[in-house]
Structure 1
Amino acid sequence: MLHWRLILGVLFVTVIAVLAYFDFGSKHPGLVMAPLAIGATWLAAGELVRLFEQDSQIPAPSRYLVVPGAVATVIASCAPMAWSVAERAPMAITSGVVGRVGWVAIGLAASSLVALCAEMLRYRTPGSATTRLALAIFAIAYAGGLMGFVVQLRLLRGGPWGEDGRWGMLALVSLILVVKASDSGAYVVGRLIGRTKMAPVLSPGKTWEGAAGGFVFATIATLITFGPLAAALGCEIDRNFPSWFVGCLLYALLVGAAGVAGDLAVSLLKRDAYTKHSSTWMPGFGGVLDLLDSILFAAPVAFLLWIGRLVGP
């Protein structure tokens, strides 16, 4: 399994790096990487339904409702790209509430209403409709809504972030690097010196010593991201050193901690479904949810820290 993990890991990193390279130089930020977000959402939503189907005690929602709903939410979050391509963007699209998280909310609201209408149409006898509806909306919000925040990070532009989208790329990269550095640090340090279990029931391998190591790795990744990498992308951070350094520390702590919580959240779903992996088609990884769990959970936290100006210009 280790060799498959290495092979697929290199493949995933290469694909993301190539797409990011072309997306960074594009006139329309986010457009090149949008299909990756949509495809990942499609697979993640399907895996969530598969987890629900493992438990025969609960009525699982229809994947033909959940998957399109999650994808529609992500597509809605990509709406500002359409105005970018048309080269005419109403003020409400590029600034204000709609330009930030409003499109994610619109996608979630529309998908939830469709799910509710579908349950009304299929209703025959009492006892299962509410559970199916709740699981459907949860899956749509988890796979689609959280991915919508990943998209919104890439679309940060206008005002202090300029108009060319370079800050949006830095925001997206900061999320991925910090979360994955935290994961790697926690794994390495936990294997070496981990003793105190963090969540023995949900994830027996996680330790507090590993979490401390993850914070150290996340901090290093944050300092590199908002230092040399920001300069390489042409993002000038006009902050004094204490403000910049404290911002980096808090970003590493909060985004890294959110990533750990995301990992535990998917562990909860898998254990509750009596299964070890969300899917079996990726040897060494388990499934798309196992790849995205920490990133999805940390995305809204990273987004709030960016628009709150804890980090950035």
Structure 2
Amino acid sequence: MFHSTQQDVMDPAEPVGEELLRIEGLKIHFPLGRRRHGQYAETVYAVDGVDFALHKGQTVSLVGESGCGKSTVARSLVGLVRPTAGSIRYKGMDLRTASRSQMRMLRREVQIVFQDPFASVNPRMRVRDIIEEPLRVQGLPRDRYVAEELLEMVGLQPVYANRFPHEFSGGQMQRIGIARALALKPRVLVLDEPISALDVSIQAQIINLLMDLQDELGLAYLLIAHDVAVVRAVSHRVLVMYLGRIVEAGPEVLSDPGHPYTQALLSAIPSAEVGSRGSRKEIILEGDVPSPTDPPSGCRFRTRCWKAADVCAEEEPGLLDRTGHGALNACHFPAHE
């Protein structure tokens, strides 16, 4: 079980602490094929207009089907993917125009924890060197016992510092990955599916560790996850993505969904798991997810939506508070259960 201290989700109008990250109009497009007359044959619109903010001590979660752009957003925040347009600001500093020294500072304060804890480390390095690697890259002094202290912080024995990755389980390696991310004393952790590669019995332990660290260190988290139970337990705010755009956002999105896509996602999950009101009939979506190289006009979900009308093809719905409940919704016909 998750021993959440955040079960009373906070209103988005009352942020937890100071604003650390602000993403506005973020677009990330990937060209495909050869250039013809100065243009590429096709373009993948992986992220096509995303806005949100992240505050100190807050957990914002991105959910959606595979391929919707969640991980691309996450990687852009740490400089692994370059934005095509829009802005990513850390404490007011725009990453797209930041100098080399500013980016060096940013990389100290915004760290990432990857999905596969083994693929994200060098198997020939000892754990001590893995944890201290960020300090070496940044040219920072290393305390003799920094690796041991970080291992204790994430619930591992200090003697593990002299071992190699193949000597650990997946859960232990993810703890080591978290220890490495904490080496530079960051203020923001980007958690890219941090438990999806782990056994179910270990997942809750890692989530509880992350929540304890957030309480202790005042960290802000951007969490990418598929597990609705996890997202609901730890999030102050949930963003639902579909085909590169956010279609619904708010603190109670998973309890009272208003967008048809969110309703369809949750309908396949037992109601007790997501804490919804009463039973929920499963919604079967027809058709496939449209290609990100040629998204539909207007509402991108309209080709699979049972509520679709002419206006959905002609006019793209903005992400607005359409019900007066504080939740943002990008649907011409929102409805709450």
The TM-score, its normalising length taken from structure 1, stands at: 0.31
Higher helix share: 1
Q: Which has the larger radius of gyration?
A: 2
TM-score, length-scaled by structure 2: 0.29
